[in-house]
């Protein structure tokens, strides 16, 4: 018998589209995963004098799945690279500061993102599964009071192998907790936000061509990138409501300090910066007797000044991604 808790999932970054990578795997401590091959059937519509449906053929193959994790400082960097490309890195002794921004160009003609290989070993259940030519299409980050920072990433692509299970090893260190988070709006700290979430959607889709294969020949963009931001605000005053009414666009920064002291005075850090954040929905209503809270939603706007919609800075002990 095998258990979910004995399953290992790892991500590695391919050098090119079409060739799986079997080493340099970032093993991910995960909460849940949904990687599986789907095979869409083609049913013949031809009428053959019977009431029964026609012959069935194997149609397009695809792999899609969501990986949910508690955001570990080292592993989070690998996930950000999958979605946003390689970071720029500044080194100070053993302290490495990686700055991620969404891609400004596709990886190549076949792949919008760096193609990744995902290895999944299902405990004692025999062969491991290897999905390759996968693209990270969407990522969400969320933190709420009393919880760990969680990340969820959607992958899509379509090539698959069964392999001998590789050996897994996990980075040391601890995840980010809610009590190390702070939020600032337009440069001023805001202590009224009780939970926060954001979702960067790259709007990707698999493309199939007549290339003698049932798997996608590329994964490319089908729409524009969007950044959704949401959360809950304790409604003690009208300050943020005025910002909704005026539809202002302001800097939003979420800052988290990790528990691991890398070197004297320097802990692991995560800083999420949305240069221009704008409220889309903000409805202060009394839904019951309890303290007033407002669930808000908003979005990131591309800043021509910062030349990005989002910037994520991650400082840790990982020399490079």
Partner 1 sequence: MTKQVEWLSPERVIPSCGVATTGQLISLPDDLADKFIAQGEARLLPLAHTATTRPKAETKGGDV
Distance of alpha carbon 231 from alpha carbon 38, whole angstroms: 34
User: Is 97 an interacting residue with respect to partner 1 (CB under 8 A)?
Assistant: no
> Residue 166 is encoded by which pair of tokens?
């590789």
Determine phi and psi for 82, rounding to 5 degrees. Answer: -60, -35
Residue number, 70 or 240, with CB nearest to partner 1? 70
Site string for partner 1, 142-181 (x = CB under 8 A): ------------------------xxxxxxx---------
Residue number, 24 or 259, with CB nearest to partner 1? 24
Residue number, 56 or 169, with CB nearest to partner 1? 169
- What is the DSSP pairing of strand 116-122 with strand 128-144? antiparallel
CA 144, distance to chain mean position in Å, is 17
Applying CB under 8 A, the site for partner 1 has a residue count of 15
Distances (CA, A) of 143 to 8, 147, 166, 176, 215: 24, 7, 32, 9, 36
Q: Among 36-44, 175-183, 239-247, 311-319, which window interacts with partner 1 (CB under 8 A)?
A: 311-319
Q: Among 98-106, 286-294, 303-311, 312-320, which window interacts with partner 1 (CB under 8 A)?
A: 312-320
Residues 181-210 that bind partner 1 (CB under 8 A): none
User: Is 28 an interacting residue with respect to partner 1 (CB under 8 A)?
Assistant: no
Which residues neighbour 18 within 8 Å (Cβ) at sequence distance 6 or greater? 110, 115, 133
State the residues that interact with partner 1 by CB under 8 A: 8, 22-25, 166-172, 317-319
């Amino acid at each position: 018998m095998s258990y979910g808790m004995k399953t290992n999932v790892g991500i590695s970054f391919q050098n090119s589209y079409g060739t799986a990578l079997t080493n340099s795997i970032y093993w991910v401590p995960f909460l849940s995963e949904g990687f599986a091959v789907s095979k869409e059937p083609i049913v013949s519509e031809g009428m053959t004098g019977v009431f029964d449906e026609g012959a069935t053929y194997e149609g397009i193959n695809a792999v899609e799945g969501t990986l949910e994790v508690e955001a570990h400082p080292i592993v989070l960097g690998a996930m950000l690279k999958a979605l946003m490309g390689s970071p720029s890195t500044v080194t100070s002794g053993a302290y490495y500061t990686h700055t991620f921004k969404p891609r400004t160009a596709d990886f190549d003609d076949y792949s919008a993102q760096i193609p990744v290989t995902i290895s999944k070993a299902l405990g004692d259940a025999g062969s491991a599964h290897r999905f390759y030519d996968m693209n990270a299409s969407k990522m969400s980050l969320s933190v709420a009071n009393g919880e760990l920072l969680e990340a969820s990433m959607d992958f899509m692509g379509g090539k698959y192998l069964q392999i001998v299970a590789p050996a897994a090893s996990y980075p040391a260190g601890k995840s980010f907790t809610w009590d190390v988070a702070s939020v600032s709006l337009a440069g001023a700290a805001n202590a009224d936000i009780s939970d926060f979430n954001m979702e960067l959607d790259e709007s990707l889709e698999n493309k199939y061509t007549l290339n003698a294969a049932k798997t996608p020949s590329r994964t490319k963009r089908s729409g524009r990138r969007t950044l959704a931001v949401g959360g809950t605000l304790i409604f003690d005053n009208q300050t943020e409501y005025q910002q909704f009414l005026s539809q202002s666009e302001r800097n939003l920064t979420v800052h988290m300090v990790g528990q691991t002291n890398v070197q004297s005075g320097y802990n692991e850090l995560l800083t999420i910066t949305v240069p221009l954040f704008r409220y889309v929905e903000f409805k202060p209503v009394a839904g019951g007797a309890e303290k007033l809270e407002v669930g808000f939603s908003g979005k990131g706007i591309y800043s021509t000044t910062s030349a990005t919609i989002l910037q994520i800075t991650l400082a840790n002990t990982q020399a490079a991604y």
